[in-house]
Structures are given as structure tokens and as C-alpha cells.
A = this chain, B = another copy of it.
Amino acid sequence: MDEDARRLGRGRGGEPAARQASLRAHNLSLLLRHVPAGAPGISRAELANRTGLTRATVSTLVEALLAARVLAWLPFASTGSAGRPPTPVALARGTVAGLGLEVTPEHVAACAVDLAGEVLALELRPLPAGGAADVLAATAALGADVARRTSDGGARLVGTTLAVPGIVRDGVVVDAPNLGWTDVDADGALRSAPEFAPLAALPLDVGNEASLGALAQADALRSDVRTFLYVSGDVGVGGCVVLDGVALGGQHGWAGEVGHVVVDPSGPLCRCGSQGCLEQYAGAAALRRWPTSRVGSALGIALASTINVVDVSTVLLGGTLAPLVPELRPALEAELARRVLAYPWSPVAVLAAPVREHAALLGAALAQTSAVLADPSGRLLTS
């Protein structure tokens, strides 16, 4: 904002430059919220209608966004009526990208996603032998590879997010039981990898895999479902509560750990140190061990507790759990119906999450593109 303000100088009417810049930033963000990712796009006239901005303001902003390759013209839409139809714009493809990285108990991964949500590159490699330092060095190297290919393809990277299956604070993986990591400075490890140097100059975040996966799910759902509980099945079970489009963070950003909600207090020992956690009934190993109806009822018990606490009426099962939804549903819904206090007034829908593969990885990249679309003036329009 400060840079923008300096660049713009003092605006009309003697208003301080900072206010003008802030108004422009607000208008850009407002406008971008109404631009679709693809066909049929939206005309400038319609953008003016939907945003309440003047047509002149819309034209000026669209020019700037076209020049910065944030927007692109679409081919003329055929309206069927006489005369030249209005030329629509959409989010540009292949021009600006976020980089997502992921560490799971089985692999490291990287992907680049553009402003329109298209995957420009995606690569997985098996988890390397060794400790957290080795894993993060391999992640940095893979990320740098994918970033280089993305840049060579003509897209400008705007930042990186690393997804990990654990709780994170200020770039440090505080605890990731299924990786065996505690207090691992992932931010520091990535930054110190030589290949990662160009990326280290851009924004870099580390986040929980289920929270980032929930972002990918929310993006796929658009505005159809704004409040849901996302349950992410992998070696462990993660989760994220999304209320009216906002992930519930809690006091430290560690909310949503449904994998450690208690199903049976004297159940199997969990890697977290507790007993009878949902993860012991619905994690990857448990899916091989228990009959599906047992997994379904365990999910129902743990999610009923969760829903009584957070009050949502949509559950999205993702990752390894997504393809099992038809088999899990009967026992799961029976437990929810019996145990959710408000069920008779608000039944809970249990659905397969719309993004089945690599949700956390894609969400990590989306976190970066979403951030620049929400505040484009600082990071997209300074060139």
C-alpha cells in the first residue's frame, strides 16, 4: 500500500495519496471478486452493474489488470442479437501462479496453480529416507524444479505455501505425529535450501494440510456451500471447520483436529499419545483393519461430538475417505441422527468432498493466488 501511495502521488481534491491508493486497492479487489475464472467471462458493463463502480472506473482498472496479465480478453460471445456484442474478460490463464508444496507420510509434492485455478504443473516424489531436514531439502528441491518449469512456461510466481499434516505456528511444525516431527522449523529449512533462494524472496507460508485442503474444497464449491466440516483422510485424519467461508482457527490456529476427537476412551492407542482417537478408526491403517460399518460408526460418533460443538450441517469427506462415502454413509448417518442434538431440526448431509486428489497441495497453491486476488495492488500491479 505504501509503495502504491508513493507511486500515485496526491490524488484529486487534495486527498492524501494513501487514501486514494487504498480506494483503488479496494476497488480492484471488489472488481476481481466478480470476474469468473473462465468462459463466458464478464463484460465491463456487467462489472460496473455488479460492483456499483462507474464504467469509467471499471475501464481504467480493467486496463491495468490486462496490462499486468491478471485478466485476459475472451473471444466475443455470440449473443444472437444484431450488433457487436460486449467483449468479456476473465481471469488470465498461465500468467500468474501460486506454488503449493506438501509433505505427507508417503511423499513430497509440489504444484503450481494459476489465477483461474488451472494446474500448470504437479509432481510427486516418494518421501526420502532420513529426518525432517532431509525431507524438507527434498521438498525445496522439488518446489524449485516445479517453479522453474512454471516460470519457463511464462507464468510469474507470487508465493509458496507448504502443507503439513500437523499443527503449525509461525512457520514451525509444532507437532506432526504421523511424520514424527515436533518443533521442526520448516520455514527456516526451506529458506536455507540453495535452490529455493528465488522463492524465498516471495511470501512463504506453512499451514495445516486439512485447513489448506478445506480452502481447495471451498474454492470448488464456490458459494453453494459456505459452512461445512471437512474431514481429510490419509495416514492420519485431519479436519477443518469452515463457517461462512472462513476457516475456524481457534486460539493458535490449531482448531479442527477431528482425527483426535475421542471415539472410545479405552480404544486403541494413538500416535498422539491418547487412546481411541478417530484416527485409529478412520486413518489409512484402520481402513484396512476395520469393517467399513465400524469405520462409519466411529466417524459418526466423533463427528456428532464435533457437530454438537461447532454446529455445521454439511460434512465433506476427503482424501482416502471420499471414495468410501457410499459404504460409510449408513452407519455414519445413523450415529449422527442419534447423537447430534439438533439433528431433527437440521439433518447433516454427508458428502464426498468435490476435490478428491491432492486437495491440500492444490489448496496450498490457491492460498497464494487467493491472497493476491484479494489484495492485487501490492503484488500484482507493482511492475
How far, in whole Å, are A251 and B310 apart by their CA atoms in the complex? 8
Q: Which residue of B lies closest to A272 (CB)?
A: B341
Q: Is the C-beta of A253 less than 8 angstroms from some C-beta in chain B?
A: yes
| One of A94-102, A128-136, A257-265, A357-365 at the interface | A257-265
Q: Which of A246-288 contact B (CB under 8 A)?
A: 248-258, 260-265, 272-275, 277
Q: Is the C-beta of A305 less than 8 angstroms from some C-beta in chain B?
A: yes
Q: For the complex, count residues of A whose C-beta is within 8 A of B.
A: 50
Asked if residues A342 and B261 are in contact (CB atoms below 8 Å), the reply is no
**Chain A interfacial positions (CB closer than 8 Å to B):** 167, 169, 174-175, 177, 227, 239, 241, 243, 248-258, 260-265, 272-275, 277, 301-302, 304-306, 308-313, 338-342, 344-346
The verdict on A305 contacting B261 (CB below 8 Å), with A341-B272, A342-B174, A345-B174 known, is yes
**Cβ distance A197 to chain B, nearest Cβ, rounded Å:** 31
Q: Which residue of B lies closest to A300 (CB)?
A: B265
Asked if residues A301 and B265 are in contact (CB atoms below 8 Å), the reply is yes
Residues of B with C-beta under 8 A to A243? 250-251
The verdict on A251 contacting B311 (CB below 8 Å), with A260-B341, A339-B274, A341-B260 known, is yes
How far, in whole Å, are A96 and B118 apart by their CA atoms in the complex? 59
Asked if residues A260 and B311 are in contact (CB atoms below 8 Å), the reply is no
A308 partner, pick from B177, B257, B312, beta carbons under 8 A: B257
Number of this chain's copies in the assembly equals: 2
Residues of B with C-beta under 8 A to A339? 260, 262, 272-275, 277
How far, in whole Å, are A243 and B255 apart by their CA atoms in the complex? 11
State the main secondary structure of chain A at its contact with B.
loop
Asked if residues A261 and B308 are in contact (CB atoms below 8 Å), the reply is yes
Asked if residues B175 and A344 are in contact (CB atoms below 8 Å), the reply is yes
How far, in whole Å, are A227 and B253 apart by their CA atoms in the complex? 13
23 contacts between A and B (CB under 8 A): A167-B342, A174-B342, A175-B344, A239-B309, A241-B309, A243-B251, A250-B311, A253-B311, A255-B311, A256-B309, A260-B304, A260-B305, A260-B308, A260-B341, A262-B263, A262-B304, A262-B339, A264-B265, A272-B341, A275-B338, A275-B339, A305-B305, A309-B309
**Cβ distance A169 to chain B, nearest Cβ, rounded Å:** 8
Residues of B with C-beta under 8 A to A249? 311
Residues of B with C-beta under 8 A to A308? 257-258, 260-261
A257 partner, pick from B258, B262, B272, B341, beta carbons under 8 A: B341
Residues of B with C-beta under 8 A to A340? 260
Residues of B with C-beta under 8 A to A302? 262, 305
